[in-house]
């Protein structure tokens, strides 16, 4: 007998509390959710703005960690950026508006590499997309997925680096986003020759509701494993 996958559903995974150590000696707390059968692919998540309530448990990222290891066979790493607190604990340091956070991204990528993951995808949400855009090209990653990119801190110069980097840069943009709607996103991301912008009619910046979350996770599945069937709604 199967049950519907709901907001609080935790599907099978090997969940391990982790610590990331940055170059400037901060300790960032997080969790790695890995498939029981193992995987070479990890989704490294970067959460929304800490000063506006963003943290590793922001709902889309938490649901990705709760579902994708079992449904898609990929690992999901979540962590609190410097100075950010959640049920898992508080990372040391303090918010630096996306500057010293480059060291947080570096520590997370390094952790994934040392853990043996060969395919490291960044999944940024809102503020997290700024970090993915600005610092993704500094690392050996497979690409970046951007949820609700505001393009406040990431500049055209940051975007232009992706032309040389040539790794996938895919923006998932809600049709009713508060900051950057699909038409404007198409224009802003046009400076990157291979960037993709995918609009989601009717959805908002925070992707509220189970239907919105399923749309996001189904699109993430298609990016990570092209040709994937829609993710099950029951397990």
Q: What is the pTM of this model?
A: 0.98
What local confidence, expressed as pLDDT, does residue 208 receive?
A: 96
| pLDDT value for 123 | 99
Q: CB count, 10 Å around CB of 212?
A: 18
Cα atoms in the 13 Å half-sphere on the side-chain side of 223: 28
In this predicted structure, what is the pLDDT of residue 233? Answer: 96
Report, as ranges of residue numbers, the positions in the chain whose pLDDT lies below 70: 1
pLDDT at 124: 98
Please, are residues 42 and 74 in contact by the beta-carbon 8 Å criterion?
A: yes
| Cβ 101 vs Cβ 58: under 8 Å | no
CATH H-level, domain 14-224: superfamily? Alpha/Beta hydrolase fold, catalytic domain (3.40.50.1820)
pLDDT of res. 204: 97
Question: How far is Cα 150 from Cα 104, in angstroms, rounded to an integer?
Answer: 20
Predicted confidence at residue 1, as pLDDT, reads 67
Give 126-178 as a DSSP string. Answer: THHHHHHHHHGGGS--SEEEEES---SS--HHHHHHHHHH---EEEEEETT-S
Name the strand (E) or helix (H) holding 33: strand 27-34
Q: What whole-number distance in Å separates Cα of residue 76 and Cα of residue 35?
A: 9
């Amino acid at each position: 007998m199967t049950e519907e996958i709901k907001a609080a559903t935790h599907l099978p995974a090997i969940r391990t509390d982790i610590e990331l150590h940055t170059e400037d000696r901060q300790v960032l707390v997080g969790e790695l959710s890995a498939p029981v059968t193992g995987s070479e692919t990890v989704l490294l998540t970067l959460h929304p703005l800490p000063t506006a309530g963003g943290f590793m448990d922001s709902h889309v990222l938490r649901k990705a960690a709760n579902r994708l290891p079992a449904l898609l066979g990929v690992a999901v790493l979540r962590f609190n950026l410097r100075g950010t607190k959640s049920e898992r604990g508080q990372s040391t340091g303090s918010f630096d508006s996306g500057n010293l956070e480059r060291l947080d991204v570096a520590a997370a990528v390094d952790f994934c590499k040392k853990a043996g993951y060969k395919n490291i995808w960044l999944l940024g949400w809102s503020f997290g997309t700024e970090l993915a855009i600005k610092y993704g090209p500094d690392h050996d990653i497979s690409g970046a997925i951007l949820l609700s990119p505001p393009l406040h801190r990431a500049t055209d110069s940051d975007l232009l680096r992706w032309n040389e980097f040539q790794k996938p840069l895919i923006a998932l943009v809600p049709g009713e986003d508060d900051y950057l709607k699909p038409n404007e996103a198409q224009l802003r991301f046009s400076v990157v020759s291979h960037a993709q912008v995918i609009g989601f009619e009717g959805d908002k910046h925070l992707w509220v509701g189970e239907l919105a979350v399923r749309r996001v996770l189904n699109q993430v599945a298609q990016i990570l494993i092209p040709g994937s069937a829609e993710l099950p709604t029951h397990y």
